[in-house]
Amino acid sequence: MAYIARCKCGGVVMATVDNPDHQKENAKEIARCVRDGLTIERVSVEYVRSKECVLGCVCPKEPKTTKNSDQGSLFVRQEAP
């Protein structure tokens, strides 16, 4: 399983595997996402890798990423329609 954080536009701006070895780091990152107003979901890793999962923020403003997180660089920005 994995945790994802969604922007209000529905785009996924953070994903992390639910691994017991990284429980503390994951908790900190998820807490940061909650403070930033993102929605947290627990999903399968397969979902994150699938075409159903829209990676990146499509809001007209700058993409929302968590502070002190380099995970935003893993996603390609997409322009809103």
pTM (2 d.p.): 0.68
Q: pLDDT class for 79, splitting at 50, 70, 90?
A: low
Give the chain's mean pLDDT: 82
DSSP state of 26: H
Give pLDDT tens digits for 34-60: 999 999 999 999 998 888 887 888 787
Number of H helices, E strands in the chain: 2, 3
Residue 57 near residue 13 (C-beta atoms within 8 A): yes
Two tokens, residue 43? 């999903």
Q: What is the residue extent of each domain of the chain?
A: 2-74
CA–CA distance, 81 with 23 (Å, rounded to integer): 37
Residue 78 near residue 12 (C-beta atoms within 8 A): no
